[in-house]
Structure 1
Amino acid sequence: MNFKWPYALMVSVCLVATKTSNVYAAPNSKAELKVKPMICMVKSIGQICEMTIAIQWQTTTAQDVCLYQDTQQLKCWQDTQQAKAKLNISLEQDMTFSLKNARMETLTSQKVKVNAALSRKYRRKLKSDWSFF
């Protein structure tokens, strides 16, 4: 019975520490970004995926923000709290889209994955590596 008390105390301290650390982690990150679709399909790995994505974002206060594809600026809005847009993009690999304010602080981000229909990584071998003949 005495063994459970230190364990219970340690778990409760960890839970309290986790709760308080989340409160102070990013106080100004009251932003939401939705990028659809989140997956782009290509025939094989290495091909460029071209598609139209739908962007929807909102923040708690109106501010100047820009949407970035990795480090490339795609579109900006001035003194806006929410917006929707459609953009044509090209991807060779998984890419992170982020919403940044005028001070270049990342408010929120979302990743778009590139998946291949024919993956070289999991391709079945047609013959064995060795043979008696």
Structure 2
Amino acid sequence: MVILFLAPLLIPLSNAQAALFTVSPKVCVISQVQDFCDLDLKFEWQGDVMGDVCIYEQSKKIHCWQQQRAGEFNYKARVQVETIYSLINSESGVLIAKAQVEVQSTHVQKSRRRLRSPWSFF
């Protein structure tokens, strides 16, 4: 069973600029810790200034735009742990914005920590 949540993220570009960078869904819930989460991610971004930008998954480049002020991109991702996506200016290498996709498990730990020592009389 997989449950998905959507949420936008507003992150400043620099002191003078701002960009809207959204990745949806932001959270994937899996039933077991070892499971992978297969997601259809949708990236949307909009900036104040035209430029060449790329989206990276961790350090892997997944899509670029040239001389654009905004863009959309759909991406099929398979994640098992929290994954960070970055919007980077491809000319200068400057990080414009970032967002993360969280993976949460519904699996509850069955063991509990013992509250007292086994040799205690009380």
TM-score by length of 1: 0.69
Partner of 1:125: 111
Is 2:18 the partner of 1:48?
Answer: no
State the distance in 2 between where 1:70 and 1:45 align: 21
State whether residues 22 and 43 of structure 2, in contact with CA within 8 Å, keep that contact through their aligned partners in structure 1: yes
Give 1 or 2 for the bigger CA radius of gyration.
1
Distance in 1 (CA, whole Å) between partners of 2:52 and 2:62 is: 14
- Structure 2 unpaired stretches of 5+: 1-12
1:72 aligns with 2:60: yes
The alignment status of 1:106 with 2:95, answered yes or no, reads yes
1:31 aligns with 2:19: yes
Runs of 4+ more than 3 Å apart: none
Higher helix share: 1
Structure 1: unaligned runs, 5 residues or longer: 1-24
Q: Give me the identity figure in percent.
A: 19
Q: Contact (CA 8 Å) 2:43, 2:74: kept in 1 or not?
A: yes
CA offset digits 1:13-72 (Å, max 9, x no partner) = xxxxxxxxxxxx932552221000000121211322111011110110110000011101
Secondary structure at the counterpart of residue 32 of structure 1? strand
Q: TM-score, normalised by structure 2?
A: 0.74
Give, as a single letter, the amino acid of the residue that structure 2 aligns with 1:41: V
Question: Aligned residue pairs: how many?
Answer: 102
Residue 60 of structure 1 corresponds to which residue in structure 2?
48
